[in-house]
Every structure is written in C-alpha cells, then in structure tokens.
C-alpha cells in the first residue's frame, strides 16, 4: 500500500504555526535559562499553557475525549518543530506516551476521566517502563501482587521522562510469569502521591527532565489496572511504537537544525583566506549528511502516515517504527558529531548552542531503544 509521503495543506499550516511559536516562545535560549537557573519545573509553565491553547495536546485524541482528531501526522509535525529548538515541555511524556497509552489501553471510564484532563494540560502524566540502563520492554522485574482485591507494587523505574512533575504515572509491572516473558506484563495507573512512591529527579546531560521512581509496597485498587491484567504487552508495544515514531519526528527537527547551523558556519568561517565551506574535505561530508537526512525525512513521514492509515497492521507499523528509530538514531549520532567537529574550537564552548544538540542526540538515541535494539527488532520482524 502506498503511503502519502507529502504533507497536506493543513499539516503545512500547522507546521508553520508551530515553527513560529517555537522560534518566538521556546528558543534554545529558554532551555539554557532553565538549565542555568536549575529551574524546579524544568519547563516553562506559560509556554506549556500556550501549547495547550494551540491544540498540541489533543492532536491524536478522539473528539469524544476532548481531542481534535488531527492525527499523529499533526502531532509529528509539531514535535519536529519543538525538536528544532530543543523545546522543554511535557509533550513527549504526557501527550505522546501517557495519553496514547490511556487512549489505546484504557477502559471507557478511565479514558473519559483522564484524557480530557491530559488534553487541557491540568494533569501531567508519564510512562514508567525502563528498569535498567537499557530499554528492554519485555524484561520487567517490578512486581504487582494481587492481595485481597488490591495490588501491591514493588520495584524500581529509571529514565522516566518528566517524572518529577508528573501527577500520574503509568507503571509497567509484572502480575505473573518470569522476567523475560511478555505474558504477565500489566500496566497500572499510579497517582504520584501514593504512599510508597518515591520520585527522584535526575539531572541529565541534555537538561531533558527525567527521574527515577522507587515503588515500595505501593497499594493500588483493582481498578487501577490499565487494560487487561497480564495482557498489556501487545498494546504497550503499539504505544511504544507511537512513542518511537513521535520521538523520531522530534529527532528529525533537531538533526535538521544542527545541520543548518553547521552549513551556515561553513559558509561564514574563513581560514587560509577562503570560506572553509569551499574545502572539498568538508563539502563531501556535508553532502553525505544531507543525503542521510533526506532518508530520515522519508522514514519519519512514512511512519507518521502509517499511524494515521487504518489499513496498516501493527506489524507494518512496528517495522516502520524500528526503521525510523534506528535510522534517526544513527544519523543524529553522525550529524551531532560532525556539527561539533566542523564548528572547530567554538563548537566546544558552552556559549555556542551547537553543544546542546550532541547532548540531546545521545539521550534521544537511547530513549525507547537505541539503534542496535531496533535493528535486532527489525531483523526479527523480517524473519531473520
């Protein structure tokens, strides 16, 4: 089935509006200020309120739950723009991951109660999945034991986006099975203030907001289960794929911006009496990056289009998600390294913005699975 790989007019308008907003309200300067002031929230509440007003939180949510049904294609172009300015916001944690999880896995009353609050921005949520320094969504050691109609959770979660500001955690825990099986994996809605939940903010290299979550005998009512107990994995995997594709869109924006700054520098810096951009040793490396970025654009636009195409199967989407996340991770690695090298000494200074991109690159590369994780998954999906 042929996917539409060109943005619609509506999507183009949305992209232009998002680009204007980010340049005006959430430039890289904002990230720098938040970092330097060790801001307790880690993002700008006023900017977030405006993003809610612009409708970004409800893009892929059904109208019945307060959303706008503009599709993942819409959310994708927004994320690409926030990626350009390395915007700090709860969009990935609360909208792309948590709202998607509730929308895909939740029952009617959970969706009716939670989704409108996530769209209005009054509730912030996140997904607590990883337990080790590596993304291994099938290997869940956190336990949830059913006892007298209540679940008791014990375990440790790490690399949880926006954990320190989240009101609600979606905690992935095991209700049965050993810790490498997918049956037995369950999802729980956990109020961040529940007794036994300890959240520690972790200061990451890219100033992206993350945290660790400790769960000590956290007692939950039976209706806290999101989806079917023990059967969460297939839908969770689909949620993760949406997250990977959305994250890939954000990475694309960051890659394009880092590359743009680099080419501008080549066209401006003089050595030996000429612009350094006239050196073939740099030109060819820039042209190779350009080509790789063109492939990234296609991978992202195809994966986003697949999410909005009801004819695409979960397996087809999984392959496009792993393709996009693997490819974008590799190219973000390449472009962020070359960006520093081509900027020379000035690229090593904190004063210059280009360093923010290599920091964001490494964090984004690992989040939701790095390139080797996704190549392994892609090969398995292709039957080898």
Outline where DSSP puts E strands in 148-233: 150-161, 168-174, 185-191, 197-203, 209-221, 225-226
Residues numbered 188-247 forming contacts with another protein, rule: CB under 8 A: none
Residue 173 is given by DSSP the state E
Nearer residue to another protein within complex by CB, 56 or 378: 378
Per-residue x/- marks for another protein, 250-269, CB under 8 A? -------------x--xx--
Nearer residue to another protein within complex by CB, 6 or 40: 6
All residues at 6 or more sequence positions from 260 whose CB lies less than 8 Å from its CB, including other chains = none
Nearer residue to another protein within complex by CB, 3 or 204: 3
User: What is the DSSP annotation of 74-133?
Assistant: HHHHHHHHHHHTT---TIIIIIIIIIHHHHHH--HHHHHHHHHHHHHTSS-EEEE---SS
Give yes or no for residue 379 binding another protein (CB under 8 A): yes
Nearer residue to another protein within complex by CB, 69 or 376: 376
352 close to 346: Cβ distance less than 8 angstroms: yes
Nearer residue to another protein within complex by CB, 1 or 40: 1
Q: How far is the CB of 301 from another protein (least distance, A)?
A: 7
Residue 184 is given by DSSP the state T
Burial of 133 (0-12, 13-18, 19+ CB in 10 A): exposed
- For the CA atoms of 33, 35, 40, 46, the dihedral, rounded to the nearest 10 degrees, stands at 40
Nearer residue to another protein within complex by CB, 296 or 364: 296
In what helix (H) or strand (E) does residue 14 lie, and over which residues does it extend?
Answer: helix 9-25
Q: How far is the CB of 225 from another protein (least distance, A)?
A: 34
Q: How far is the CB of 76 from another protein (least distance, A)?
A: 15
Per-residue x/- marks for another protein, 288-327, CB under 8 A? x-xx--xxxxxx-xx-------------------xx--xx
Q: Applying CB under 8 A, which residues contact another protein?
A: 2-6, 263, 266-267, 274-275, 277-280, 282-284, 286-288, 290-291, 294-299, 301-302, 322-323, 326-327, 330, 372, 375-376, 378-380, 382-384
């Amino acid at each position: 089935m042929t996917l539409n790989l060109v943005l619609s007019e509506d999507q183009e308008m949305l992209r232009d509006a998002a680009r204007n907003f980010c340049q005006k309200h959430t430039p890289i300067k904002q990230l720098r200020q938040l970092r330097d002031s060790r801001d307790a929230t880690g993002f700008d509440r006023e900017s977030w309120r405006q993003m809610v007003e612009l409708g970004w939180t409800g893009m892929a949510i059904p109208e019945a739950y307060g959303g706008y049904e503009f599709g993942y294609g819409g959310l994708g172009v927004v994320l690409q723009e926030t990626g350009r300015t390395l915007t700090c916001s709860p969009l990935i944690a609360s909208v792309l991951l948590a709202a998607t999880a509730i929308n895909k896995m939740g029952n009617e009353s959970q969706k009716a109660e939670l989704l409108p609050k996530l769209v209005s921005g009054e509730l912030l949520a996140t997904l607590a999945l990883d337990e080790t320094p590596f993304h291994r969504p099938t290997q869940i050691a956190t336990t949830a034991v059913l006892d007298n109609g209540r679940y008791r959770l014990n375990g440790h979660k790490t690399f949880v986006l926006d954990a320190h500001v989240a009101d609600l955690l979606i905690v992935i825990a095991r209700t049965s099975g050993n810790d490498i099986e997918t049956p037995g994996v369950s999802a729980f809605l956990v109020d961040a203030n529940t007794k036994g939940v300890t959240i520690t903010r972790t200061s990451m290299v890219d100033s992206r907001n993350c945290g660790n979550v400790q769960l000590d005998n956290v007692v939950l009512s039976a209706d806290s289960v999101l989806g079917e107990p023990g059967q969460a994995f297939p839908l969770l995997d689909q949620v993760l794929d949406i997250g990977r594709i959305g994250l890939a869109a954000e990475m694309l924006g960051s890659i394009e911006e880092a590359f743009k700054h680099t080419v501008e520098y080549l066209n401006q810096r003089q050595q030996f009496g000429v612009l350094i951009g006239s050196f073939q040793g740099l030109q060819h490396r820039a042209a190779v990056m350009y080509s790789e970025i063109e492939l990234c654009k296609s991978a992202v636009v195809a994966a986003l289009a697949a999410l909005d195409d009801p004819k695409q199967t979960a397996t087809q989407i999984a392959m496009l998600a792993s393709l996009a996340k693997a490819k974008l991770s590799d190219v973000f690695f390449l472009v962020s390294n070359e960006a520093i090298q081509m900027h020379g000494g000035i690229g090593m200074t904190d004063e210059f913005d280009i360093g923010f991109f290599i920091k964001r690159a490494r964090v984004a590369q690992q989040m939701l699975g790095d390139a080797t994780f996704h190549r392994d998954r892609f090969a398995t999906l292709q039957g080898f």
